[in-house]
Structure 1
Amino acid sequence: MSEMRFNPITLDWVVMAPGRMLRPDDFHPQVVSHPTRPVHRDDCPFCTGNEAMTPTEIARVTAPDGSWLVRVVPNKYSVFDATLNMQRKRHGTFRSMSASGGHEVVVEHPRHDLDLGEMDPAHLVLVLRMYRERYQMLREHPMVESIVIFKNQGQRAGSSLEHSHSQITAAPVLSSQVCMRLQEARRFHELEGGCLYCAVLHEELLAEERILETGEAFVAFMPYAALSPYHTWIFPRKHQAAYDEISDADIEELAGLLSRLLRRLKAAAGAPDYNITFRSTPVGEVSGCFHWYISIVVRISQIAGFELGSGTYINSMRPERCAERVRGIVL
């Protein structure tokens, strides 16, 4: 039977409707192919030897032999421009402003054929440290209010280049989504005297059935009102507002957990495309009621008219069932 579940963090109502998987389908689903990729491509701007194809490098992690292990470059097709001066315009209800900020690309590995989940956890440590370093640098920009670290893996997730990479944006405004989540976190803090995210994590640990993995510093689980099949959250146990507060020791644990989780999701869901987002408190927010976390959205379902018209998601696989399948994957 269908059931509606509420997510207190996102304020989304989600319809759990397993019966939707039995619908007839006149449109034959496209078979997602994952062709074998070469270790190196001469025409790939992110492969070693092709560094001249990218804008001037911002940062790198260097190997003992002088080669690079992780690179950061400005996005060639940037959404935001750090050179723009902040200008606002208004004419009646029409408002605009300069898209001042930053947009960077993190090239995660010199090899062309490795996805994030296929990299050694020790290499993921380098990537996660670079995220922290760039987050700390970007928050010093006087116009920045929101920093988002994200990864689009595969075409269905919005990636245009197959060489594994992620992106970091620094925007001069807060989106309505961020404002809403921050407002709800504040409201919970005022009424309950605690952190909404800590409370959700505590209740998920008590329930146990959606937990994927627990560690000393992090917990991976599928939320009670998961928006889609295999929708996964990773929460730090410690109450921290922003990603750049993470310690070196916690980065090492997170790298191992993320590596195992991505491999399990790949096996359970059939090597799907996915999006990873690091959600942190807005820059300059001092209330401490926010709690940073990582969201992984697996792209095996599509948004259609009901979702667009109602703002309510339909999930055709209950998170308990998805969590059971992922836990059953033996690495």
Structure 2
Amino acid sequence: MTVHGRSAFIIGGTGQIGRATAARLAAAGYAVTLGQRRLRPDAAAPHGARFVQIDRADTEALLTALDGHDLVVDTVAFNPYHGAQLARLAGRVGSLVVISSGAVYRAPGLPVPIPETWPTIEREAHDYPAGKAALERVLLATPELPVSVLRTGVLHGPHGTSLDHWWFIKRALDRRPYVVIAQDGGSRFPTTAVANVAELIHLCGERPAARVLNIADDPLTVAETAARTFAVMGHEAEIVTFAGPSRPDGLGFHPWNVAEPIVFDTARARAELGYSPALSYDDALRQDVEWAVPAVRAAEAAGGGWQDVFPDLVERHGPDVWFPYAAEDAYLAGPTR
């Protein structure tokens, strides 16, 4: 029995958000159950937590497992079918928190920053943004459902299969003396540390309500992100920028490469719940580095590389644009710099 006698169930409990949330809730006195379709042998449960194997395709078994918990967190809901499952929890759980994405916001013409009231996409499609937007609509239309929908940026933190900050981290490890960034280094795209998602989930559990909240890091430019990452790693590098998009040989590429600035307004979480980050941006970067570097070195020792640790990076952008050092060297040595 925990101090407070509260219970939480995390769907997708061994994933990136699930692990961080389990640790935060266990520290707050929750008895935590981690649900996963396939149990991962490398998943270490926080003290007092337990694993259960459950397939969400079996709706009745899922609802039985969730029934009566003070807090249910769903990190792997992606479509209106999942929303319909969760809608049946109205009156059966204390608080429900569902992870969504800022990808639901309707573009182009996004305001800076984007408030939670900005319209979401409504197209009939089966892609990730459309699925998340439809999921949200089902949940928010359900009477008596205390659901907090959290719209995140690109996640970073331990145990993820995608870490955009690797673009900077590897350059620091390789002791590159400079980095070349397209679009004058001014692109802004929201990132979100999973430790801070876990903090906001905890607050939502303490104050159940139907709401939508953005959750994102400081809205830095890509050049500022480069500088902060290098500083955290004790690396000095010249940040070189040029106007216009990245080039076919990868020169100037970066994963924050967007045509318009994307910045989330996070004031609502602070005003309604008193949210403040559990980790500063620099401390979150340190956590990224402390997990990613040993993970990549272990992959290299096994005959692989960073692509095996972060396969989603390769899937999103391809394998060839990440570290075009020869193109950077030629550009810096050329007369048109």
Interval of TM-score (by shorter of Structure 1 and Structure 2):
under 0.3
Structure with more of its chain in strand, by fraction: 1
Instruction: Report which structure shows greater RCO (CA 8 Å, sep ≥6).
Output: 1
TM-score with structure 1 setting the length: 0.23
TM-score with structure 2 setting the length: 0.23
